[in-house]
Amino acid sequence: MFRRIKPIIKKEFRQVSRDTGTLGILVFLPMFLLIMFGYALNFDVKHISLAVYDEDRSKTSRDFIREFFQSEYFDQKYYLKDKSRINELLDEGQVTGVLVVPCDFSKKVLAGQDAQVQILVDGSNSNAAATVIGYASGIVQAYTSKILIDLLLVKTGRTFSLPIDFRPRVWYNPELKSAQFLVPGLIAFILMISGVISTALSVVREKERGTMEQIIVSPIKPLELIIGKAIAYIVISLVSAYLILLMGWLVFDVPVKGSQVQLFLVTLLFLFVALGMGLFISTISDSQQVAFQISALLTILPTFLLSGFVFPIRNMPYPIQIVTYIIPARYFLVALRAIMLKGVGIAVFWQQILFMIAFAALMVGLSWARMRKKRL
């Protein structure tokens, strides 16, 4: 059996090395997409442009305003002296928000009364607006707690602490960098696209050149043909996968915290799924153009939208959540993030492994059945 598979493997390697288009899809395109998406897809909301309109203009109001600009979340872009400019700045998009401090702010704060403060936020980008409101609420609450403690200290002469000492601690991604979340998703996205498209085009190219008929009438069995083609592209895709991991570590500082062996096995299993899909698509396509269109339709949008790569599946409508169960990248992403970010073992994601095994067996089985039918 190996004697018949070996020539197919050698043939595929030679064909890929001569075909610069396929080689680019498998090696260079993934790294380009990683860098492009890694920088373009960034959910970190920092350095928010803010204008300040301080009607009070007192030491207390200046101390309060200073709290907003002691972190990297807000940047003071304008200090307004005319209230009429607020609408102008927000309409033109020159600032994301405007902090308005009323004229009686210091008087009410020092008297221990409620002092109203307003922040006007541009809500055209709902996600950014929600983040701005969250940051501002946290800063105001921290300042309020500080004022209460100072007032009680003045009135009672004793130190005072809040009844609850709230200290959040973030695991796995302490700095809350979106790259830590996105890079594993990019690996799944890129491997699915490159694996499916390259395999589908490779087999359909044989049909267009008329060499597939020669292979079919040869002693090579359909399963041996599938294995021979799969091994060649698995080796190339594994090289591409580890180049992506290396780029992710060097460029975005995303290390692999878990077992390299488990990462290799999970990635290998996912490549079987992708290559199985590519082989199946090739059996139902008669031209490279049709194969490319079907491959793109079944990989790009489903993997990007329905795998949990960008949008959490739990936030999707229930009917859409059901559809996500037929997206193989969903299972690979759970396992990949568990290994890379959390450093956990297979005991945590063994169910995802079973789903990928079933999906790979289904795709390879369907491809084998269709090739065997054509041979008969």
Would residue 161 count as lying in a domain? no
Residue 1 is predicted with a pLDDT of 58
- Quick one: 262 and 362 in the same domain? yes
Would residue 169 count as lying in a domain? no
Residue 218 is predicted with a pLDDT of 63
3-class state of residue 48 by DSSP = strand
Domain C-terminal end among 127, 156, 185: 156
Residue 211 is predicted with a pLDDT of 65
Check if the beta carbon of residue 233 is closer than 8 Å to that of residue 199. yes
Check if the beta carbon of residue 249 is closer than 8 Å to that of residue 332. no
Mean pLDDT of 309-319: 87
> Which stretch of 12-26, 170-184, 279-293 has the lowest confidence by average pLDDT?
12-26
- Where residue 137 sits, what CATH number does that domain have? 3.40.1710.10
- Quick one: 197 and 325 in the same domain? yes
Check if the beta carbon of residue 294 is closer than 8 Å to that of residue 200. yes
Strand ranges across the sheet with 118-121? 74-80, 48-54, 97-101, 118-121
In this predicted model, which residue has the larger pLDDT, 93 or 151?
93
Centroid of chain to Cα 241: 16
In this predicted model, which residue has the larger pLDDT, 228 or 90?
90
In this predicted model, which residue has the larger pLDDT, 320 or 8?
320
CA–CA separation, 186 and 38 (whole Å): 8
In this predicted model, which residue has the larger pLDDT, 51 or 376?
51
Residue 376 is predicted with a pLDDT of 47
Of all residues in the chain, the percent with pLDDT exceeding 70 is 85
- The chain-wide mean pLDDT, for the chain, equals 82
Would residue 132 count as lying in a domain? yes
Integer CA distances (angstroms), 41 to 3, 34, 44, 196, 302, in order: 47, 10, 9, 23, 17
Would residue 123 count as lying in a domain? yes
In this predicted model, which residue has the larger pLDDT, 199 or 338?
338
pLDDT higher than threshold 80 for residue 50: yes
What range does the domain containing 142 cover? Answer: 48-156
- Quick one: 66 and 207 in the same domain? no
H or E segment and range at residue 54: strand 48-54
pLDDT higher than threshold 80 for residue 33: no
Residue 330 is predicted with a pLDDT of 92
Query: Per residue, what are the HEC states of 201-244?
Result: HHHHHHHHHCHHHHHHHCCCCHHHHHHHHHHHHHHHHHHHHHHH
Enumerate the β-bridge partners of residue 137: none
Mean pLDDT of 302-309: 88
Q: Cβ atoms within 10 A of the Cβ of 186, count? A: 25
pLDDT higher than threshold 50 for residue 19: yes
pTM of the predicted model, to two decimals? 0.76
Residue 217 is predicted with a pLDDT of 59
In this predicted model, which residue has the larger pLDDT, 3 or 250?
250
CA–CA separation, 163 and 338 (whole Å): 36
pLDDT confidence tier of residue 157, bands split at 50, 70 and 90: low
**Exposure pattern of 209-247 as b/e (b: 16+ CB <10 Å)?**
eeebeebeeeebbbbbbbbbbbbbbbebbeebbeebbeb
- Quick one: 72 and 181 in the same domain? no
Mean pLDDT of 156-179: 73
- Quick one: 36 and 56 in the same domain? no
Q: What's the domain count of the chain?
A: 2
Integer CA distances (angstroms), 267 to 36, 228, 337, in order: 22, 19, 12
Please state at what angle helix 260-283 crosses helix 346-375, rounded to 10 degrees.
30
